[in-house]
Amino acid sequence: MPSKFVTPTFSNETTQGSLPLVEGTIGPAAVDIQTLFTNHGILAFDPGFRSTASCKSAITFVDGDNGVLLYRGYPIEELAEHASFTEVVYLLMHGELPVNDQLSGFKKDLLYYSLLHDQVMSFYRGFRRDAHPMAVMVGVVGALSAFYHDSMDTQNPEDRQRAAIRLIAKMPMLAAASYTYSIGRPQRYPNSQLDYASNFLQMMFGLPYREYVVDPVLARAFDVILILHADHEQNASTSTVRLAASSGANPFACVAAGIASLWGPAHGGANEAVLKMLHEIGSVENIPKALARAKDKSDSFRLMGFGHRIYKNFDPRSRVIQVQAKKVLEHLGIDDPLLEIAMRLEEIALQDEYFVERKLYPNVDFYSGILLRAMGFPTNMFTAVFALARTTGWVSHWLELQGENHGIDRPRQLYVGSPRRSYPSKS
Ligand code: ACO
């Protein structure tokens, strides 16, 4: 990490100079390159943004070398143990935990905006009934921008708050409907007596003719899943939302872009991929074969749920989720052979030179699939659950960005194509 007393210098045949360092509250300093092109005519080259701080943000801090994740300064382990998801939503959006009657007021707002316009339900009928829930969510969340566009002024802080709450409040019914539609079950409405997590569970699993009885162990486990996935600073989907939002685009459309980015197997789609992989491995005896494949560079197989762009140590969320997975399986009396395979796989991989050298540890997705499966979620809903939780992060970053008035984002490139040439003469 550069010391704050060192100013990075650079030179080539035509230009030379030095650049100032800027520091955040905690974490590495950053070289401020904002004037690099205007003052020196050169660009910074950082494909994949591995060394680029794309913005200032006061929401979430990740220290990947030490396995630390803080939401507004609070460690994720403490929030997962003591807070409710609704408190975490408030914290991420507003910067502080709710005090006095702020939480009850916030819950009322979330409930007030939780219903979907009945016309939105007709969008679902346009999809094939076997469509992937993420495909449906990209479409339906984007379509919400058609409902709330003319009435919203992104320059008005009150309108922004309302749009933010609408997105978070409507997402449980939107996600649940992408599942109930696929199985042909009528969609239930939010229940004013239930909290955010329980409400989603009843809309997802409740039957139209019977009262849904909330299992407190499952409800708490789901609340924890939501807390753990709520935000993770400038990941691919959040950066997508910020980039889209920098043009002043409608927030519902921006979040639809975030959902599209989250869907990929290298990001939120990994939890689904982990279960598929564990199924394929099939038994503890086959683990060495799977590990050999993961290490073989001529084979595209990767150990899903292992490795992380930022964490080069344990992902702190994976420990919390492993505890919840065991708790729920025990509570439900489920003896899942996939859990045994996962735990053995983790144990063996963490002693394997290949994984140790490359600092590949289990990430949050390694156990979340097992937990969601035990709770009754079909595999293709795993990433939709992630999207439900991450909406809070996307919305919080959207609010932060709108408050800054920082103009449209426009990355540059290192052009490696043909130099200028003339169109060939046809004669
Ligand atoms: N299995 C086998 N080898 C791996 C794995 C893995 N899961 N992950 C990384 N490696 C290897 C790479 O082949 C590379 O080896 P090399 O140095 O010999 O070429 C080395 O480790 C570094 O890999 P990178 O791809 O540079 O690591 P990066 O930080 O870019 O990738 C990523 C992170 C995409 C998450 C990767 O680890 C991966 O594909 N993991 C599996 C998918 C997954 O679990 N994604 C969920 C991420 S968490 C989330 O989105 C919530």
- Substitution site in 281, 302, 315 for ligand 1 pocket (most atoms within 8 Å of beta carbon): 302
Integer-rounded Cα radius of gyration of the chain: 23
Q: Are 38 and 65 in contact (CB under 8 A)?
A: no
| Number of the ligand 1 atom closest to the C-alpha atom of 229 | 51
CA distance 134 to 22: 39
CA of 410: how far to CAs of 7, 22, 188, 257, 413, in Å?
A: 26, 21, 43, 17, 10
Ligand 1 centroid to residue 266 C-alpha, Å: 8
Cα angle: 134, vertex 253, 317; to 5 degrees: 50
Take residue 323 and report the two structure tokens written for it.
Answer: 């505890």
Report CA torsion sign: 176, 178, 182, 187: positive
User: What pTM does this model have?
Assistant: 0.92
- CB of 317 closer than 6 A to ligand 1? no
Phi then psi for residue 7, to 5 deg, are -105, 120
Handedness of CA 205, 207, 134, 170 (dihedral sign): negative
Length, in residues, of the chain: 427
The residue to mutate among 303, 306, 321, having the most atoms of ligand 1 within 8 angstroms of its beta carbon, is 306
Q: Which of 323, 321, 292 is nearest to 305 (CA)?
A: 321
Residues 385, 259 contacting (CB under 8 angstroms): no
Output the CA 136–ligand 1 centroid distance in Å.
28
Name the residue of 225, 278, 309, 312 whose CB sits within 8 Å of the most ligand 1 atoms, as the mutation to test its pocket. 309
C-alpha closest to that of 190 among 182, 198, 181 = 198
Please work out whether the CB of residue 393 comes within 6 Å of at least one atom of ligand 1: no
- C-alpha 256 – ligand 1 centre gap (Å): 26
| Residue 247: exposure state from Cβ atoms within 10 A (0-12, 13-18, ≥19) | exposed
Q: Whose CA is nearest to atom 35 of ligand 1?
A: 308
Q: Give the pLDDT score at 6.
A: 57
Q: Classify the phi-psi angles of 23: left when phi > 0, otherwise alpha if psi is within -120 to 50, otherwise beta.
A: beta
Whether the Cβ atoms of residue 26 and residue 61 lie closer than 8 Å to each other: yes
Question: Which residues have a Cβ under 8 Å from the Cβ of 178 and sit 6 or more positions away?
Answer: 124, 133, 134, 136, 137, 140, 381, 384
Q: Whose CA is nearest to atom 24 of ligand 1?
A: 309
Q: Does the CB atom of residue 390 touch ligand 1 within 6 A?
A: no
CA-CA distance, 185 to 179, in Å (whole number)? 9
**Alpha-carbon gap, residue 234 to 239, rounded angstroms:** 5
- Tens-digit pLDDT string for the chain (427 aa): 444 545 778 888 788 888 889 999 999 999 999 999 999 899 999 999 999 999 999 999 999 999 999 999 999 999 999 999 999 999 999 999 999 899 999 999 999 999 999 999 999 999 999 999 999 999 999 999 998 877 788 889 999 999 999 999 999 999 999 999 999 999 999 999 999 999 999 999 999 899 999 999 999 999 999 999 999 999 999 999 999 999 999 999 999 999 999 999 888 888 888 999 999 999 999 999 999 999 999 999 999 999 988 888 889 999 999 999 999 999 999 988 998 999 899 999 999 999 999 999 998 889 899 999 999 999 999 999 999 999 999 999 999 999 887 789 999 999 999 999 999 998 7
Amino acid 137: pLDDT: 96
List the structure tokens of 140. 């339906």
CA 238 – CA 387 distance, rounded (Å): 11
